[in-house]
Structure 1
Amino acid sequence: MKTIALPALLAAALSCTFIPLSPAAQAAPTFVADLDITSFDGTELDANLFIPETPAPAGGYPTVLFTNSWVLDKHQYLLQAKALAENGYLVMSYSTRGFGASGGLVDVAGDNTITDARVLIDWLEDHYPVGKLGMAGISYGAGVSLITAAQDPRVDAVAALSGWSDVIEGLYPGNTVNLVWGTILTTTAFNLDPEVDTIWANLRATENIQGVKEFAAPRSALSYVPELNSNGTAVLMSNNFADYLFKPNSMTRLYSLLDGPKKLLLNPGTHAVTETLGGNNGHIWATTFRWFDHYLKGDANGIDSEPKVDMTVRISNEIEQFDDFPVTDTTTRYHLHPRLSYFNNASMKTSPYNGWGWSNDFHGGADTKAGTGIPVISDALEGFGIPVYTNMTGINGYYAIEYNSPVHWSTFKIRGTPTLEMWIKPSKPEVQLQVHLYDTGPLGLGRLITHAPLTLHDAAVGQAQKVSLELFTTSYDVPPGHVVTLAIDTQGAIYQKPADTNYEIEVPYRSSRQSVLTIPHL
């Protein structure tokens, strides 16, 4: 186990790129700053190229194609590209269509964008001796890299950093509109395909959701698992616990379905910031370089025999390694027990509820102190070991309900994806649950461990029904003397709330209707 400090300067996160640990330089590469490459439909793609000064190996140059993040361009990876080129790689970076100086419209990893990437591979092979080839990118570049690799067996390895494997899970988690991140995406791309605006409008209005799913499926790597497995692509994935755009859950799901070489990095911090600033003191980029050195250059550096999962503990920023994901089979099942009034907390116990029939209720109409902090900013600060704090005693019991676990007298090491199965009786067909898990100290100060939203759009009014959800994957140590608190309210700063928030959610307690929170831990 190793302790690694996260880097500083959050304000520059989206405009600079961390300098990775550079491989031993062989010779200064040649840099071609501007390349205009014509794609299949006449669209001009803007690219640059690093060419090693050393002769190509017998099998051709190991080659990397870098794909930009959303709104960024071909300059994003200059430092990484140069470092790879100094180590014998042929490296191209380009601006995907609609971004930078490239023409065309942004189609969100649609057919045109994926075909562009394949055209660039053709161009590289036509002009240089290309050996094994890898693709890499952060955020948008990660998704484009995964989908291209699935559709083109010439891609031998991928490094998908802060990527996605399921568009729906990103923009509509738990059937809840991801308002903040969706708005950021749709308002920052100036050359957006009009179809994307229509999809976002339909999602916000809860209209033609089937059409949204049909748009999302070919843009989601989960749709291409058989192709990735058939191609034998070596896939490295890195995602962040407080990434509320591309949560780690869908990437852990993709990881579990891959049969070929694979590695998963799970880190504190928010979307793209951890990778952009060189998260974990360069661990992400150093691992990416080693991944390519082994699967593109053939270096016997041991990465193929190391544990497949690197999980960094939130706040302490200690890296732990595990053989696979899930990292543990040990769980604690907490059964929810009732509270006496709005002024009391309910409880969670390892024993089922066997008392009289009882019920609690809480209401929509207002947000509470339970939440994820300031959107984007609080999430990013978490990567620096600064968690979201909440005064748990100040959560209004009329608008929320809290369940406290027994005191943990030794460190409770949560590792993985907590789940909740809960019986509710809603008063309206559309209701929303914002589910939070906190580490609460003796003085009532809570630190956010994880959360997840759930929106019911067609609930059976006045009828008891069981709902289920996954909270976002996490790694967190609850200190001795603290309790775990499950806090549930009906609004969150990141998410779009129902149009009608005047509703009540009743929680029934019966021996035949057990509500259970399951927490994986070491």
Structure 2
Amino acid sequence: MKTIALPALLAGALMAGFTATSEAAPTFIADLDIVSFDGTEIDANLFVPETPPPADGYPTILFTNSWALDKHQYLLQARELAENGYLVMSYSTRGFGVSGGTVDVTGPATIADGKALIDWLESHYPVGNLGAAGISYGAGTSLVLAAQDPRIDAVAALSGWSDIVEGLYPNETVNLVWGSLLTLTAFNLDPAVDVIWSNLRNSTNIDNIYDFSAPRSALSYVDELNANGTAVLMSNNFADYLFKPNSMTQLYSLLDVPKKLMLNPGTHAIGETLGGNQGHIWATSFRWFDHFVKGDANGIDREPKVDMTVRISNKLEQFDDFPVTEKATNYYLHPRLSYFNNARMKTGAYNGWGWNNDFHGGADTKAGTGIPLISDALEGFGIPVFTNMTGINGYYAIEYNSPVHWSTFKIRGTPTLDMWIKPSKPEVQLHVHLYDTDPLGWGRLITHAPITLRNAQVGKAQKISLELFTTSYDVPPGHVVTLAIDTEGAIYQKLEDRNYEIEVPYRRDRQSVLTIPHL
């Protein structure tokens, strides 16, 4: 039996609180069957303001549903916007709800449907400036649609993606939990998508996967978004291990248009669905549309461009741009004496004799991201992933401890790791975790990232480089930062052959370095 995604259940609970027959001022048209370019019927609903249209037409918003949800998802938000003078259409993308067709993952047909809906709106109502918005699937689709249709003036992309491959295949590692969840909850999935997922899991026809992803990813349309002048707001969550903040920060850095970036605690779509960050996500999205669609002089265009909420404490901070800081500490990795000792990382380079450490595949350790989906969601409520760092098996992992931080260490941004390794097999996998460890040995997860080497040079020292997932975290005084590396993670697909060894060489001319940005 197929399951419904957690975000879908939470959104359903919210939708149950809305009654379509309530005495709202706008006119609500509950069911519209709009014929798309190829004869497919797209199911939609519409709020029409009670007030007459302005001279240049109604400010208009097009809401696109999340994965496995439908046109009812945004009833609360749509009604609020309509009461504020907006014409608002919400629709079920093809293959979802009662819309026809199959789910092509923001493919050409889905984008053509979006254009057809805008055509319909313009032929039936006086449409002024136009905004597009959505959560998750709706966010990624809104970005691609805006790139391909210059009629869209502004976008609010919440928990979206800019690169599909980065979401499902980060550093060539299969995102098994999220990928399986997505394919199991789309009942009308295009057969071509099943083939792509099968290829991804089996590491076959990888070039075809990149070819599939590119036209469905906003990073492919930076020039178009810039040329259109689309005002782009993006909101992503630190513990979203489907659509990590990293690719969205990359998109943000490439845009030359009015832009806003919000980075929040919690996991995929939960914050946005539950009113997110004490209502900050939706309130900011509405202000974004009020300025760039409705034309209100509310000052959001002059405010700091980046809103970053600190994990666990949920303290909101604002910055002028991303990256939010140019300050960083380089920690050089130094060796451990045995499997029963932790290694160290220091601000000075390693200048000792040539030394080697090793750890092995074949088992998971206590280093990890907690219970998939559940732990990620709880983080949004200030409940971190705890790990007993002293219980991490040194045969299957290696840990590096920083010096004690005697004042609050405010990590802000994207940590990076450059590390020398000597693998015993051509295909190996590493899971890199960053922890805040207290004096009793309890660690709280700060961030992580996986990496899989598919064609490693066996028995030869080689440097791997990766970005950990973007984060915002305060390490308290008296704590240390711990880098814990093992070979398996609960979210990701394990390698078929896990009987391998990772050797870490330490040489003066081969420095392994963890770089942490901070205030």
With the shorter chain as reference, the TM-score category is over 0.9
> Residue 12 of structure 1: CA displacement?
5.1
Superposed, 1:141-160 pairs within 5 Å as 141-160=138-157
Q: Does 1:251 align with 2:248?
A: yes
Residue 112 of structure 2 corresponds to which residue in structure 1? 115
The whole-number CA distance in structure 2 between the counterparts of 1:312 and 1:259 is 24
> Residue 15 of structure 1: CA displacement?
2.1
Q: Does 1:319 align with 2:340?
A: no
Q: Does 1:303 align with 2:303?
A: no
> Cα 1:368–1:424, aligned 2, differ >3 Å: closer, same or farther?
same
135, 153, 170: which one pairs with 1:173?
Answer: 170
The whole-number CA distance in structure 2 between the counterparts of 1:252 and 1:218 is 19
Superposed, 1:90-489 pairs within 5 Å as 90-489=87-486
> Residue 27 of structure 1: CA displacement?
7.5
User: What letter is aligned with 2:25?
Assistant: A
Residue 20 of structure 2 corresponds to which residue in structure 1? none
User: What letter is aligned with 1:284?
Assistant: I
User: What letter is aligned with 2:113?
Assistant: D
The whole-number CA distance in structure 2 between the counterparts of 1:520 and 1:58 is 50
Equivalent residues, number: 509
TM-score (norm 2): 0.97
State whether residues 19 and 278 of structure 1, in contact with CA within 8 Å, keep that contact through their aligned partners in structure 2.
no
User: What letter is aligned with 1:145?
Assistant: S
> Residue 303 of structure 1: CA displacement?
0.3
User: What letter is aligned with 2:382?
Assistant: G
User: What letter is aligned with 1:361?
Assistant: D
The whole-number CA distance in structure 1 between the counterparts of 2:51 and 2:400 is 63
Residue 75 of structure 1 corresponds to which residue in structure 2? 72
State whether residues 163 and 239 of structure 1, in contact with CA within 8 Å, keep that contact through their aligned partners in structure 2.
yes
User: What letter is aligned with 2:197?
Assistant: W
The whole-number CA distance in structure 2 between the counterparts of 1:419 and 1:365 is 26
> Residue 17 of structure 1: CA displacement?
3.6
Query: Which sections of structure 2, spanning at least 5 residues, go unmatched?
Result: 1-5, 18-22
State whether residues 309 and 322 of structure 1, in contact with CA within 8 Å, keep that contact through their aligned partners in structure 2.
yes
The whole-number CA distance in structure 2 between the counterparts of 1:314 and 1:13 is 22
> Residue 10 of structure 1: CA displacement?
8.8
| Residue-by-residue CA offset, 1:283-302 (whole Å, 9 max, x unaligned) | 00000000000001110101
The whole-number CA distance in structure 1 between the counterparts of 2:469 and 2:16 is 30
The whole-number CA distance in structure 2 between the counterparts of 1:179 and 1:99 is 23
> Residue 280 of structure 1: CA displacement?
1.1
Residue 23 of structure 1 corresponds to which residue in structure 2? none
State whether residues 334 and 350 of structure 2, in contact with CA within 8 Å, keep that contact through their aligned partners in structure 1.
yes
Question: Which stretches of structure 1, 4 residues or more, deviate above 6 A after TM superposition?
Answer: none
| Residue-by-residue CA offset, 1:474-508 (whole Å, 9 max, x unaligned) | 00000000000000000000001110000000000
> Residue 11 of structure 1: CA displacement?
9.9
Aligned residues with identical type, % of pairs: 81
> Cα 1:51–1:14, aligned 2, differ >3 Å: closer, same or farther?
closer
State whether residues 27 and 52 of structure 1, in contact with CA within 8 Å, keep that contact through their aligned partners in structure 2.
no
TM-score (norm 1): 0.96
> Cα 1:322–1:404, aligned 2, differ >3 Å: closer, same or farther?
same
Query: Which sections of structure 1, spanning at least 5 residues, go unmatched?
Result: 1-8, 21-25
State whether residues 156 and 285 of structure 2, in contact with CA within 8 Å, keep that contact through their aligned partners in structure 1.
yes
41, 51, 56: which one pairs with 1:44?
Answer: 41
The whole-number CA distance in structure 2 between the counterparts of 1:263 and 1:136 is 14
Residue 3 of structure 2 corresponds to which residue in structure 1? none
> Residue 14 of structure 1: CA displacement?
3.8
The whole-number CA distance in structure 2 between the counterparts of 1:399 and 1:188 is 35
The whole-number CA distance in structure 2 between the counterparts of 1:239 and 1:407 is 31
| Residue-by-residue CA offset, 1:156-215 (whole Å, 9 max, x unaligned) | 000000000000100000100000000000111010000000000000000000000000
Residue 6 of structure 1 corresponds to which residue in structure 2? none
